[in-house]
Amino acid sequence: MDKLPQSIHKITTYHDYKIGLKTSDWSLGLNSKGKIGGSILDKLRNAVSNDDWMQLITVVKNNERHLPSKQYNEWNQSLLKLSNLLDINNPKGLHYDGEFTDYIANKNSNPKLKSQLQKCLWQMMASGAECLIFCNYEVED
């Protein structure tokens, strides 16, 4: 069975998906204005390693057949946006070989690209959290 890293699991504990209503909610962990910026979730997302992102991708990929079309499409859109940002043929893309966490933490990083990366990672986390509701996995110890 696929393993979900603790860093991703911790973020998903703030996520609530109501299957009957087909609605998703991040009721905890947001800032005082109900936004992601500067919140607990922002800090947790910024600390996820590239390997942990890859494990999330693996868990969702290995469970695609269980996903409703809405979650499947949103997940693929989030991967496409991240892929486009990281595309070496994209002259306005992020061309960085290290950890996303290091790029986000680096004060000298391009602020526009840093913001785009954080948005892509948040979209991947949000759609991934919905997908995980329908996936079979274990949480790493």
Does residue 75 contact residue 60 with C-beta atoms inside 8 Å? yes
The answer to whether residue 31 scores a pLDDT higher than 90 is no
What is residue 72's predicted lDDT score, i.e. its pLDDT?
Answer: 95
Q: What confidence tier does 50 reach under pLDDT thresholds 50, 70, 90?
A: very high
What residues make up the domain containing 50? 3-139
Percent of the chain beyond pLDDT 70? 91
What is residue 85's predicted lDDT score, i.e. its pLDDT?
Answer: 95
The answer to whether residue 32 scores a pLDDT higher than 70 is no
Domain count, the chain: 1
pLDDT digits (tens, 9 = 90+) for 97-135: 899 999 999 999 999 999 999 999 999 999 999 999 999
DSSP 10-78: HHHTT-EEETTTTEEE--SS--TTS-STTSHHHHHHHT--HHHHHHHHHHHHHTGGGS-HHHHHHHHHH
pTM across the whole model: 0.88
The answer to whether residue 93 scores a pLDDT higher than 80 is yes
